[in-house]
Amino acid sequence: MASRSTASSGSGAKRVVVVGGNGYVGSHICAELVARKHAGQEPQLEVVSLSRSGLPPTSQPSWAGEVQWLRGDPLQAERAPESEAAQGVQRALTGSAAVISCVGGFGNAEAMRRINGATNVAAMSAAKAAGVPRFVFISAHHYVLPNFLQRGYFEGKFQAEQALQDKFAGQGVQIRPSFIFGTRQVGSVGVPLWLVGTPLQMLTSFSLVRKLTTLPLLGPVLAPLLTPPVSVQAVARAAVDAALREGAPHKTIVDVDDLLEYEA
């Protein structure tokens, strides 16, 4: 497993903001940040979640009391700089050492461009304006897909990746997971995505299976099916490492093979 950062902020507190911290991936990232704090790696770490509701996950996990839950919408704040949403974003970002954005979603093409693209770009712009030095973006693995399958979701992700490079250069980190499995809370119900993801990861991690993706003509068709899924815990560990690392990031693009090194 990849080594985890033990960077310390010295005598001052270090604040990390998780945009979308009450969602599936975001809540695991918040939990990982709190765990690092308890492990003594960042004893004065401040963990802040910024979301449209400003509420913790409905499952009320034990670590939620150690996260500051703030309400704010970067895209709305960009459109209405004097609004309450803008004040929440400003309050969250001021004095922060890093931002991790987990904003993403599905819907029609226009909605996916807005959620995956415009909202993340707005968060990056706000973080840059606030002087935040590091931005970590949960993007998506770059599959070889027909153009019509990349509309909306991937278009938005790619737009945000380009904005990250433009605004943060070597201090911006893209995390590019494939299918993310774990237990996803939908209201009070936990959906066990690991029942599919765990055996699929084991199957697709075999080198012989992976080689099928290099076959002429057939390889690009099989690649989306044979790319190993990754656990939500691995994504969280990689994102937190990228956010807490002192100096330059170890990598500015963290892809599936890198994420597999974070699997326990």
pLDDT digits (tens, 9 = 90+) for 222-262: 666 778 899 999 999 999 999 999 998 999 999 999 999 99
**Measured CA distances, 161 to 8, 15, 32, 108, 177 (Å):** 28, 23, 24, 21, 14
Q: Are 175 and 243 spatial neighbours (Cβ–Cβ below 8 Å)?
A: no
User: Is 72 in contact with 54 (CB distance < 8 Å)?
Assistant: yes
In one-letter notation, the amino acid at residue 241 is D
Confidence band of 7 (pLDDT split at 50, 70, 90): very low
Which residue has better confidence, 144 or 17?
Answer: 17
86: Cβ–Cβ under 8 A, 6 or more apart, which residues? 72, 76, 77, 78, 80
The pTM of this model reads 0.86
Residue 20 φ then ψ, to 5°: 85, 35
Q: Under a CB-based contact definition with an 8 Å cutoff, are residues 48 and 17 in contact?
A: yes
> What number is the average pLDDT over the span 86-103?
93
Exposed e or buried b for every residue in 74-91, given b needs 16+ CB within 10 A? bbbbbeeeeeebbebbee
User: In whole angstroms, what is the distance from residue 264 CA to residue 99 CA?
Assistant: 25
Ordered by where they begin, the domains of the chain are 14-190+231-260 (3.40.50.720)
Angle between helices 119-129 and 153-168 (to 10 degrees): 10
Determine which helix (DSSP H) or strand (DSSP E) holds 65, and give its type and residue range.
none
Identify the pLDDT of residue 149.
62
pLDDT of residue 222: 67
For tokens 């004095």, the residue is 95
6 CB-contact burial (10 Å; exposed 0-12 / middle 13-18 / buried 19+):
middle
Report which secondary-structure segment, H or E, holds 31: helix 24-38
Q: What is the DSSP letter of 13?
A: -
